[in-house]
Amino acid sequence: MTLFRNYTSTTEAVKHHYYKMRSNQTLEHVNRLNHKYLDFSRKMDFWDIIKQLEDFVDVSDPDITLPNAQHLYQTAEKIREDNLPDWLQLVGLIHDMGKIIFKWGNDLDGTTIQEQWSIVGDTFIVGCQLPTECVYPEFNVNNPDMKHPIYNTKYGIYKPKCGLDNTKIAFGHDEYLYQMLLHNKTNLPIEALYIIRYHSLYPWHSGNAYQHLTNEHDVKMLEWVKKFNKYDLYTKSNKIFNLDDLKVYYNKLVFKYFNNNTLLDW
């Protein structure tokens, strides 16, 4: 049986990625990148985005080195095979599409193929103490916010049980895609948007961290995030899909939930 998320015997590239992510993703950094990248000023076709993700390999993934486009289809097809709702199938297809930000990013921001620490990797909440449930918790001390008198406290800038929607998460493809979907006014249900926004927040949904910040809505949504996580993680393989063959089926879902439109603001 394949052991996924094995960070004890992974490559130095994966470890170095998390070192840079933890060292640079501060509250100020997140605020700056949210302001810089969430303008959605580019008109791009949905399927062109999928095609361009054939050039992107996630450096933070210790399990597989296939281009991201293949991972999207692997996830979606297994959800479809298990006859789960069509909106969840579409989430499988689109959940990593925010990684397209590499096309207009820069190395200093960590938003390129060479420097991916503001695109991929397990996320965490900024503005409060970093939990030991993070991957490579020994890197927490390298985060400048951990020397701040407020940001390095249990609640930081937040209130008890404020809810994840009222926190700031390390910048990456999750938040970018979530905000892009809101901007384009899709018909996806709230469960879909929630999965997309928090599927990389592993310290929470897999490590049980941040219980002091989550609220009843987060508890309700956690079931969906965990359900999706099984497909995101355990469908990884070296199987290659013919993307053109599958496009016919998934284009119907795109039209259904994207207001009969594939030309979107990115």
- 238-253 pLDDT, tens digit each: 666 667 778 999 999 9
Q: Which residues of 252-264 are buried (b: 16+ CB within 10 A; e: fewer)?
A: ebbeebbeeeeeb
Beta-carbon neighbour count of residue 191 at 10 Å? 19
Contacts of 221 (CB under 8 A, 6+ apart): 191, 194, 195, 198
> Contacts for 127-130 with beta carbons within 8 Å, 24 or more apart?
127/27, 127/151, 127/156, 127/157, 127/158, 127/167, 127/168, 128/153, 128/154, 128/155, 128/156, 128/157, 128/158, 128/167, 128/213, 129/153, 129/154, 129/156, 130/22
Q: What is the pLDDT along the chain (266 residues), one digit of tens a residue?
A: 344 666 676 789 999 999 999 999 999 999 999 999 999 999 999 999 999 999 898 888 766 667 778 889 899 999 999 999 999 999 999 999 999 999 999 999 999 999 999 999 999 999 999 999 999 999 999 999 999 999 999 999 999 999 999 999 999 999 999 999 999 999 999 999 999 999 999 999 999 999 999 999 999 999 999 999 999 886 666 666 667 778 999 999 999 999 999 999 99
pLDDT recorded at residue 5: 60
pLDDT recorded at residue 79: 96
Q: Could you give the 3-state DSSP secondary structure of residue 265?
A: strand
Beta-carbon neighbour count of residue 163 at 10 Å? 14
pLDDT recorded at residue 59: 87
CB 98 within 8 A of CB 177: yes
Contacts of 68 (CB under 8 A, 6+ apart): 53, 54, 56, 57, 58, 96, 99
pLDDT recorded at residue 1: 38
CB 105 within 8 A of CB 64: no
Distance between CA atoms of residues 34 and 122, nearest Å: 18
Identify which of 102, 110, 139, 143 has the alpha carbon closest to the alpha carbon of residue 126: 143
pLDDT recorded at residue 65: 66
